[in-house]
Amino acid sequence: MTAGVAALFISTDPVDAAPKPLLERAVVSACRLDLRGTLVSIIQHGEDGSVALIREQAAGWPARFSRFAVSPQAKVLRAYAEARHRDLPSASSAYDAATCRRLKPLAALAQSAVIVREAYPALKPGHLLLRCTSGLCAPPAVAAIADRCDFVPLAIPLEPLCP
């Protein structure tokens, strides 16, 4: 663990991997980047020209995502996800409601980024994604959120991410 990440873990509760104010700000920032409605619309309109549709409808989103992906807020959100993932090593273990409320925006954001990477190959993975053989992918702790929170980010109707 690097010193920068270790400094984020100032809570005395071992279950809380990040100070709540910073974590809550990170959740709100991730919520503001929700692109799911746009992606569902593109998917519903078919595959033809999907890259062009993404470029048209998501103008400005890749730059906002890339800034967030390298921010301290993204770092604390991923650290929180990884701490929860380590706390419950069994893949079938479900997260509690408060943890899911905090992590669902991260899961939706990572999925959105993976989907739009074809239209925006310069998308920065930052703290939220990894470079994989197929391009960008979610780290294991982020990929596990959907199952552990019983959350399908692109299900219709879209589940609200933020209060």
pLDDT (tens digit, 9 = 90+) per residue, 100-115? Answer: 999 999 999 998 888 8
Q: What is the band of 4 on the pLDDT scale with cuts at 50, 70, 90?
A: very low
Q: What is the band of 46 on the pLDDT scale with cuts at 50, 70, 90?
A: low
Q: Are 68 and 30 in contact (CB under 8 A)?
A: yes
Residue 109 or 163, more confident: 109
Residue 24 or 14, more confident: 24
Sign of CA dihedral 99, 15, 23, 148: negative
Looking at residues 141-162, what average pLDDT do you find?
Answer: 85
What is the structure's pLDDT at 135?
78
Kindly provide the b/e burial profile for residues 120-136, where b requires at least 16 CB atoms within 10 angstroms of the residue's own CB.
Answer: beebbbbbbbeeeeeeb
Residue 86 or 17, more confident: 86
Q: What DSSP state is assigned to residue 144?
A: T
Q: Worst-scoring range by mean pLDDT, 15-29, 62-76, 122-136, 148-162?
A: 15-29
Q: What is the band of 48 on the pLDDT scale with cuts at 50, 70, 90?
A: low
